[in-house]
Homo-oligomer: A and B are copies of this chain.
Amino acid sequence: MQCSLALAWFLLCGLSGQARENVDYKTFSLGNFVLENNTTLPDAKLTYATRGTLNAQKDNAILVPSHYSANHHGYDYLTGPGLALDPEKYFIIATNMFANGLSSSPSNTPAPWHGSNFPAISIRDNVKAIHELLTKEFGISRLKAVVGFSMGGQQAYQWAVSYPDAAECMVAICTNARQYPFGVVRLEGAKAALTADAAWDNGNYQRPPVKGLRALGLHWAAWAYSQEFWRREAHLTVQQRTFAETLKQWEEAFLDSDANDLLSQATTWQKHDIGKTPGLDGTLQTALRSIKARVLLMPSDSDFYFPPADMERESYFIPRVTLTPIHTVWGHPAGGGANPTDTAFINQTIRRFLNERP
């Protein structure tokens, strides 16, 4: 979750399931989509947006898969003239993750898979759906790059393992190849904060469980930034918010999100593990070694839930890898465009990486 992106998401999309005017995304029908757990999701939808133009060789496409509680605008901080993902040069495909409220989600799926009945989704399910979109809709067999932040980075990692020949480059920002136990514990805390609200009613709420959504927001507040962020009152700089305003903004960050959507995404996050990719031997090391893409890893050195030590360890096993940490006090959101200084560094680093000769 990155606050300014979340705000953008609310402003652009409004409440999940409500009628939207000026929809700025497209819908790809997956039909009866068989999930990794063998459940078939009928009439499944993958929504996405594009910028730029696919060239004749179809080799200039860059995929950016959405991250937690975000949408297809989650990479606007990297996309634009002069930025890392320049639409003059690349064809950028921004996909919406299942359960984000725009692609098939608890909040928009009819019975019997509505609400808390919505089947568990894996990161691999998301990647498989995107593969169908790219191959069937666009005829793209190989991406210039897949670039992801946070849960988007988990999809990028999975893409590079599930389809090792389908990307020249992979960029993973503030993410991991596997959700390590610490992160599972943290997300249990997040889910418990939301579901402690009796109004959640095991997912059968008629009105939003507001207290739980507020508790979830406050859960995230302390996890988002580093201790130094708060000490230096960094919220007074870019966001120009007082301490109290910042706390309130976090408390209210999820009020327009659907509780079941949020819980579903959290479970997807918890279960992430490229090591479990079918056809491999079940170990993380083997999955990392199987990656053929050139890889750029960008951890934030103050990220609590994707601590840089994770990416450093992962880098040991990736054949062609560059590890470039973001030096910042902005914690996880640093990787999502929260702080202009970090954003400039990320753009510069990715742009150079993409321009390197293989």
Contacts and interface: CB of A to CB of B under 8 A. Distances in A.
Interface stretch (A87-95, A132-140, A224-232): A224-232
A129 B228 CA distance: 34
A243 to B, nearest CB: 6
A285 to B, nearest CB: 15
Contact of A218 (B188, B228, B247): B188
Contact of A196 (B185, B214, B222): B214
A59 interface: no
A135 B112 CA distance: 70
A182 interface: yes
Interface string A180-216: 1110111011001111111100000000000110110
A219 interface: yes
| Most chain B beta-carbon contacts within 10 A, residue among A194, A221, A233 | A221
Given A185-B230, A189-B215, A193-B193, 18 more contacts: A180-B230, A181-B230, A181-B231, A181-B233, A182-B230, A185-B221, A185-B247, A188-B218, A189-B222, A192-B214, A193-B196, A193-B218, A193-B219, A196-B197, A196-B211, A196-B214, A197-B197, A228-B309
Q: Which of A185, A229, A309 has the most CB of B within 10 A?
A: A185
25 contacts: A180-B231, A181-B233, A182-B222, A182-B225, A182-B226, A182-B231, A185-B218, A185-B222, A185-B230, A185-B247, A186-B222, A189-B218, A189-B220, A189-B221, A192-B218, A193-B219, A195-B211, A196-B196, A196-B197, A196-B211, A197-B198, A198-B198, A227-B307, A227-B310, A304-B304
Interface of A: 180-182, 184-186, 188-189, 192-199, 211-212, 214-215, 218-222, 225-231, 233, 243, 247, 251, 304, 307, 309-310
Nearest to A198: B198
Contacts of A192: 193, 214-215, 218-219, 251
Given A186-B222, A231-B181, A309-B227, A215 B196 contact: yes
Contacts of A182: 222, 225-227, 229-231
A85 B212 CA distance: 45
Given A185-B247, A186-B222, A222-B185, A212 B231 contact: no
